[in-house]
Copies of this chain bind each other. A is one copy, B any other.
Amino acid sequence: MASKEIPYKIYLEESEMPTAWYNLRADMKVKPAPLLNPQTLKPASLDELSAVFCRELAEQELNDTDPYIPIPEEIRSFYKMYRPSPLVRAYCLEKKLGTPAKIYYKFEGNNTSGSHKLNSAIAQAYYAKKQGLRGVTTETGAGQWGTALSMACSYFDLDCKVFMVKVSYEQKPFRREVMRTYGASVTPSPSETTAIGRKILAEHPGTGGSLGCAVSEAVECAVSNDGYRYVLGSVLNQVLLHQSVIGLETKAALDKYGIKADVIIGCAGGGSNLGGLIAPFVGEQLRGEANYRFVAVEPASCPSLTRGKFAYDYADTGMICPLAKMYTIGADYIPAPNHAGGLRYHGMNGTLSELRHQGILDAVSYTQTDVFSAAVEFARVEGILPAPESSHAIRAAIDEALRCKETGKEETIVFGLTGTGYFDLYGYQKFNDGLLETYIPSDEELAKSLEKLPKVNG
């Protein structure tokens, strides 16, 4: 098998697509710590979670025993419209770098939402529809998640209410317009439509909003409207479960051609892409069947895995969602205003945090100028204009390939290319004009934002 010629793009057949998601927690001996109810500080129950989330999604959130969860037929049909996604051999990038390394990327950007977010959006919309709900609410910052959810809700004829951080709403009118085209209502946050929104507007007139505020409005909107639930595009284990389709396809494609990865790299904000990509490979390793190096790549301006603390923290700035044990730089932390892409969450998915804590997951961080220079280098040889988030993984993959060039090792590097940058051209423009600034928080700044960790940590 190993001598089979590797095409530029490996596409699986539809018949080779996964029929079940992989639930990594089932194979972990030391499980991630449970979510805690923010009032009682006791493990959140299924009923408590079901008040906010769809019932079956809440069940998935708590399930750390079943290794495989079947993908419903309706979701598999939708997946077939844009999946399997290609695993691409970066022949041109390898040549440009002059590296003996073999570089592959799993490209998730070939759908209108422009990213992997659609993999979980369609699952969450499906369960909402199955439960007989009228609609769902969510928040969006950069807009990838909101776009994905709008598409998914349009497909299942569900109402979709998106609270979009006001500054993003104003700066990215095209993102907003895509969501509207898919029938979603998009409200700039903070808004007059919720009590929390009115409170914040009264206290901070003219504010541009924040992700934490938009979460609070979306949750309030869900719990105060009959037939609505709140949905989320990252951080939660249910999201990583759905995103395992990325890793399962990647593994199937590598296996098909007898390719063995040495390093697997993904960008990490809340962890949805990284967790989905590495899940089946981590499972192999936990079962003693293989050995990989896993690398999380995050922005230097929001360094939860590289400089954060492993502790229980609030999942949202409004402190209404369950507490999670995770690497965090504090729920009040907000990246510098010049931060151009996503990956701006203060914490990290609990499962990935536990893997990091166990020494299974490496983590590195890069400044955004380093990231954009990798993005442009990649775009020019591989054609694809990457999202700034995805470009973190590109930067790390390039650096790994250059390391191989020094050592002469023919390693196989696999990374997740989560999406495209068509709606991120403000960032590219700043970079092209030499105006993009880097920001690295000081130790004092991080220590200060970590002062407010909840008392449950003792």
Contacts and interface: CB of A to CB of B under 8 A. Distances in A.
Contacts of A14: 7-9
Nearest to A12: B11
Contact of A181 (B11, B92, B151, B432): B432
Contacts of A380: 154-155, 181-183
A81 interface: yes
A110 interface: yes
For A13, A88, A420, the residue with the greatest tally of chain B CB atoms inside 10 Å of its CB is A420
B174 A112 contact: no
Contacts of A428: 177-178, 181
A429 interface: yes
A13 B256 CA distance: 15
Dominant SS among interface residues on chain A: helix
A452 B114 CA distance: 47
Contact of A7 (B80, B384, B429): B80
Contact of A383 (B81, B177, B383): B81
Contacts of A183: 380
Interface string A338-381: 00000000000000000000000000000000000000100111
A452 to B, nearest CB: 39
Contacts of A379: 112, 181-182
Interface residues of A, number: 41
A92 to B, nearest CB: 7
Given A177-B428, A429-B173, A155 B381 contact: yes
A50 interface: no
Contacts of A82: 383
A130 B82 CA distance: 37
A40 to B, nearest CB: 42
B422 A422 contact: yes
A180 interface: yes
Contacts of A425: 173-174, 177-178
Interface in A410-458: 420, 422-423, 425, 428-429, 432
A11 B8 contact: no
A367 to B, nearest CB: 19
A385 interface: yes
6 contacts: A8-B80, A173-B429, A177-B425, A180-B432, A181-B432, A422-B423
Given A112-B379, A112-B383, 4 more contacts: A11-B11, A112-B384, A155-B380, A178-B385
